[in-house]
Amino acid sequence: MQENLTVVIGGGAAGICAAINKGRRGEPVIICEKAGQLGRKILASGNGRCNLLNDNLSEKYYNRAARELVKSIFARYGKSEILDFFKGLGLNVYSQDGRIFPVTNQAASVLKVLELELKRLAIPVEYNFNCSAISIQKGRIVVSGGAGKQIECRKVILTGGGKSYPVLGSDGSTYEIAKHLGHTIVEPVPSAVPLIVKDSLCRYLQGQRISSGVKSIIDGKEGRTFKGELLFTKYGLSGTCILDVSNSISVALNRQKKANVFLSVDLVPFMDKPQLRDELARRKKSGYAPEDMLTGILPNKLTFAVKDIFEQNDIETAVDSLKARRFPVVATKGWNEAEFTSGGISVNEVNSETLESKLHKGVYFAGEVLDADGERGGYNLAWAWASGFVAGMTG
């Protein structure tokens, strides 16, 4: 065993940062990556642009269970440290609506500067190493891979990611390794994911996009409103606002097995109720046909699809229907279409300052493998960078 060797399991954002921090400290470190290349999910992030982080980096944008841990980690390695790190690597960035991107608008640029730093530090990478188990005996840690391959080390950092986009290597295998070490796994469910809705309107309008405001209604309790693009599909609803609202819905359906789950959609978010009421009353008084009542307000196909609300109801009821149309959500799409994972290794079982396991000395966790997930907008990558660096700090 190489003296004080650290093995990093997973060559994604968190794993690369953990290894770089170890390398800069002059400590021996190796990355074990199950695929044939590093950072495949980095390349796919931000639709290929790589949304590095957010200008407003706060723990309030993460799941409630993880907020204290996220706050502690960002206090040690936050926005300014992340920006300084990438600036030091020669990566120029810019901010767009609070989201920070490389000026090249290419995720490949981000991965390239990271790989160049790994090369400069002479950090070895063991490719096609599929970690199957970690055994610990009297301070001796053995990392086992396929074909009988084993690496003995003093420390191990698990950064194997969640379950989203399994084709890119995140299949949840790290959860099983942590579970065998005695750790609690909060059931992982898809997050930032399209929703399967039982409503014929979706199939009729498939391909139609509108600006909308949406909120969840779970067991009669309303969630917060998210605004953005809504896309009608043959199976239900997608679009940016749907991805944003999907987390609580996915937890309710997939983890808590709730059945009373709805999506409330404001089809006319740019008009408040009085404005919409006045305009519809004027049109009705002018003799507009039901299918023409929303012309110029909503796309033509949608105005025809909802014309029945003017055939049978008064204006007040029509306004309520347009501002809060309910869609019953029966399921979410799966891991292949989810951007992130909600769930993972319990945050109560790691040291909030170092990310070391409270159960095993020398075992650390970072990134999406922990039950710490943020909203869309660069928060999940920010957590990966920060937690990776902190996990790699301890000497």
Q: What is the residue extent of each domain of the chain?
A: 6-190+340-391, 195-332
Give me the residue label for tokens 């999907």. Answer: 246
Asked whether residue 126 carries a pLDDT value surpassing 70, the answer given is yes
| Other Cβ atoms closer than 10 A to 20 | 24
Of 7, 22, 31, 13, the closest CA to residue 82 belongs to: 13
Closest to 365 in 3D by CA, of 354, 355, 373: 355
What residues are paired with 101 via a beta bridge?
Answer: 94
- Taking 3-state DSSP, the helix, strand and coil percentages for the chain, each rounded to the nearest 5, stand at 40, 25, 35
pLDDT band at residue 95, thresholds of 50, 70 and 90? very high
Give pLDDT, residue 313: 72
Task: Please name which of 147, 164, 148, 121 lies closest in space to residue 31, comparing C-alpha atoms.
Answer: 121
Question: How confident is the model at residue 232, as a pLDDT?
Answer: 97
Convert 93-102 to b/e letters by CB count within 10 Å (16 or more is b).
beeeeebbbb
Residue 1: predicted pLDDT: 56
Segment 142-175, tens digit of pLDDT: 999 978 899 999 999 999 999 998 888 788 899 9
CATH class of 6-190+340-391: alpha beta
Q: State the average pLDDT over residues 226-252.
A: 97
Predicted TM-score of the model (pTM):
0.94
356 closest CA partner among 175, 164, 155: 155
* Closest CA relative to residue 197, chosen from 165, 231, 163: 231
Q: What is the pLDDT at residue 395?
A: 59
Task: Provide the 8-state DSSP code for 259.
Answer: S
Distance separating alpha carbons of residues 206 and 363, to the nearest angstrom = 48
Buried b (16+ CB within 10 A) or exposed e, 315-331: beebbebbbbbebebeb
Answer whether 49's CB lies under 8 Å from 105's CB: yes
Question: Residues of the chain with pLDDT > 90: what percent?
Answer: 93
- By DSSP bridging, strand 6-9 and strand 155-158 are parallel
Whether the CB-CB separation of 265 and 256 falls below 8 Å is answered with no
Q: Which amino acid is at 156?
A: V
Rounded to an integer, what distance in angstroms lies between the CA atom of residue 221 and that of residue 42?
36
Calpha distance 244→137 (Å, rounded): 44
The pLDDT of residue 240 is above 90: yes
Nearest Cα residue to 5 out of 183, 143, 114 = 143
Contact 16, 381 (CB under 8 A): no
Helix/strand/coil for 325 = strand
Residue 275 has a CB neighbour count (10 Å cut-off) of 12
Residue given tokens 């030091």 in the structure block: 88
Alpha helix positions (H), the chain = 13-24, 40-44, 67-76, 79-88, 107-120, 173-180, 200-204, 240-250, 273-285, 300-305, 308-312, 315-323, 379-391
Confidence (pLDDT) at 139: 76
CB 156 within 8 A of CB 141: yes
pLDDT at 76 over 90: yes
Residue found by looking up tokens 């409330």 in the block: 264
Residue 310 has pLDDT above 60, yes or no: yes
Q: How far apart (Å, rounded) are the C-alpha atoms in residues 204 and 305?
A: 8
Which single residue is written with the structure tokens 């290929």? 48
